Amino acid sequence: MNTLLLGDHGSRRLGWNEVGSPSGIPVIHCHGGLSCRLESRFADRICKRHGVRWITADRPGIGASDIQPGRKLMDWAEDMAALADHLQLGRFAVSGWSAGGPYALACGAVLGRRVTRIATLAGMAPLRQGADIRALGMATDRFLFRVSPRSPRLAALGLSAARQAPSRLLRASIARMLANGPDAPFLPATLVDQVTASFSESLRPGGLGTARDYGLLAADWGFSPDQITSPVSLWHGRDDTLLPFDHATRLQAMLPSASLQALPGVGHFLLQRCLDDVLDELMTG
């Protein structure tokens, strides 16, 4: 794990992880919800094969990153610009899985031509509350999107209780989730342990950072699609039961110049199934 000091007088830590080739083409990845920088660990060999340096940072209050009072979703782009400066990166591509998709788009809206390409992978569209929340496949997501905007501290209590569950029960719950869906035959056996570790690490500082993250995602994202000038590709499984395919079609309506890769027989875990193809496209920028 690496850390960078941000904010006034270096008052806030940003934690990040890298996999792949240290001298490779940089891609900054935005992790999903209930996850953290560790979600990219599976990709080391794939990224080395493509000559990619894949960089994943924890959002504020998650994992190794300190909470950022009063933050807005778009502030994430400034953090990524500071990280890129620290790593002496010029231009870079951005990817975002699931709840990380809006943060990847925010990087494009704020950082302009510094971002070569953007890929959202099973990325979420703006929530219209009500039906959109009821359609989400995970009870935890439905709880967080309902409660976090009104009472992030209450949502944090629920998350803290979940983290205190015996590790065997947590692992069994994650194993059941991964086994139910079209991706199951294609996922590595090690993924259960990796997802369990990412979930636990994301809540290590407590649940407030994650609760506030969900609150921001449920609100107005704070940028207009026409601010994004980088090429955008939207990758989404047609059989995604956790974040339905409707999110992809709504994102494409927001971003008419974006390409949509609609993947039959693929569920929510296309990050593990389709990363080779995603990296091929991101490298064309």
Tell me the pLDDT tens digit for each residue of 28-53. Answer: 999 999 999 999 999 999 999 999 99
Question: How many residues does this entry show for the chain?
Answer: 285
2 pLDDT tier (thresholds 50, 70, 90) = very high
Tell me the pLDDT tens digit for each residue of 161-192. Answer: 887 777 888 889 899 888 888 999 999 889 99
Most confident of 6-10, 103-107, 193-197: 103-107
Q: 91-105, 161-175, 216-230 — which is least confidently predicted?
A: 161-175
pLDDT number for residue 141: 95
Percentage of the chain exceeding pLDDT 90: 85
The dihedral built from the CA positions of residue 161, 165, 167 and 173, taken in this order, carries a sign that is: negative
Helix (H) or strand (E) holding 14: strand 12-20
CA atoms of 10 and 4, how far apart (whole Å): 8
Q: Report whether 18 contacts 55 (CB < 8 A).
A: yes
pTM of the shown model: 0.96
Q: Which residues pair with 284 in a beta bridge?
A: none
Tell me the pLDDT tens digit for each residue of 113-139. Answer: 999 999 999 999 999 878 899 999 999
Amino acid sitting at position 186: F
Q: Report whether 87 contacts 14 (CB < 8 A).
A: no
Q: Residues 217-228: what's their mean pLDDT?
A: 94
Percentage of the chain exceeding pLDDT 70: 100
Phi then psi dihedrals of residue 128, to 5 deg: -100, 25
